Amino acid sequence: MGAPSSGKLWGGRFAEGTDALVERINASVGFDQRLYREDLAGSVAHVRMLAEAAIITADDASAIEAGLRTVRADIDAGRFEWRIDREDVHLNVEAALADRIGSVAGRLHTGRSRNDQVALDLRLYLREAFLNRATDALDLAAVLLEQANDKAHVVLPGYTHLQRAQPVSLAHHLHAYVAMLLRDAGRLLDAHDRANRLPLGSGALAGTPHPIRRERVATELGFPELTENSLDAVSDRDAAVEFLSAAALASSHLSRMGEELVLWMSQEFRFVQLPDAFCTGSSIMPQKKNPDIPELVRSKTGRITGSLVSLLMTLKGLPLAYNKDLQEDKEPLFDADDTLRDILTVMARLLAGARFDAERMKGALRAGFVMATDVADALVAAGVPFRDAHHRVGALVQTCARRGTELESLTPAEWHELMPELDAAAIARALDPVVSLERRDQPGSPAPKRVQAAQATFEARVLEARARVDRTRSRTELCEWMRSPAT
């Protein structure tokens, strides 16, 4: 059993000090200190409101704000001592303030609890995280669109079950990930709007008898609305769950992208070359160029999804209102935020320098009977029922597979014998992958003109989403406590 610590920092309820091991387990300052900007911004808005509501004097409020400024300066400069016996970021800041200005610091906590204080800090943090990660997703989408810009006629096999299936264009393939990333950004921005309510003023769970002005604090901190129920406000972690859920889904999209890059870079595919700066060699095989970064991106999905599951398991059985279990929300949130930031950023840099081999992609269409469906469609156009056409072309593919040949190697005489409904021009069109794309002239298809239109649409949607981020950020712009170092 560890030695007892120096005891609680507040209240006279306890007759003995906290056990040293309990102190270590109980403390969160090792990870929640990263919320210091949010904590200080909330404290400044709170103390200004207390003075305006005549709950504390203007002189006391001025002294508290000046003291908080010195605390911020010390933290920014790396001079601040984070103490485990002060448990968390809130008590470390408050105790440091008392060290500087004396007992008047105790007035800062009037009308609030650490329960609604941490709920506020978390929402302030998440507001920024939602916007920042949405921006990162849009940055990656923009890189993909730049790569796709002139590749509507670059053909390659599309795959199902990892078997060559039908021709698509490289631009169409890259656009699939752009669509995913736009949904990812949209989810983050939608969740931001749901999280953007002020919980401060909820107290420990039942509000406060002091005549606080919650609307005043909300205005200063850029919250358009207040939370509606004090019990819910201090125990709600929906915004963190939504962030982790969006992060897990976004990382799954990146994992799929990473998997395809690993495949496409292999000698079996050779569809892409990745920049040397994003690959590694082998400790024993000098010829190797390994796609380690896409592999690591692929693996990070488990880490982020684990963070989501961790928080859901923390929340699943908690009665109202606040419980200490909620301290376990921050480590998975912070880790997932950092991880998602890194993998979105590294994939954008990697893909900006990727070089796609158009000839190798086109050559892959000459194996695996990729044009078989187009031959069946040509028979349908000649009046053959689709099921009959499907069966006949399937039998033709079986014959070619037995011979070890491809459809393209059949002679005109063999085509005439096997498919008398098709003339030479119809067969040539059916075996041309570009014609195959052009014939698929529906919205959302890989027809080159549709892909070019989609390129413009996606570019506009990225710009619209960026504008939404900018508008949202401007509405939640905070004072210098969040935006710049203290002066």
Active site residues: 161, 282
User: How many CA atoms does the CB half-sphere of 389 hold within 13 Å?
Assistant: 18
Burial (0-12, 13-18, 19+ Cβ within 10 Å), 356? middle
**What is the Cα 155 distance to its own chain's centre?**
30
331, 288, 285, 289: which is closest to 310 by C-alpha? Answer: 331
Distance from C-alpha of 87 to C-alpha of 465, rounded to nearest angstrom: 40
**What is the Cα 346 distance to its own chain's centre?**
13
Distance from C-alpha of 234 to C-alpha of 314, rounded to nearest angstrom: 15
Apex 333 CA angle, 8 and 326, nearest 5: 40
Distances (CA, A) of 167 to 27, 81, 176, 387: 58, 62, 15, 21
Phi, psi of 163 (to 5 degrees): -115, 140
DSSP 8-state secondary structure symbol assigned to residue 206: T
Distance from C-alpha of 275 to C-alpha of 143, rounded to nearest angstrom: 15
User: 27-48 burial, b if ≥16 CB within 10 A, otherwise e?
Assistant: bbbebbbebbbbbbbbbbbbbb
116, 114, 91, 87: which is closest to 29 by C-alpha? Answer: 87
Distances (CA, A) of 220 to 46, 223, 361: 9, 8, 56
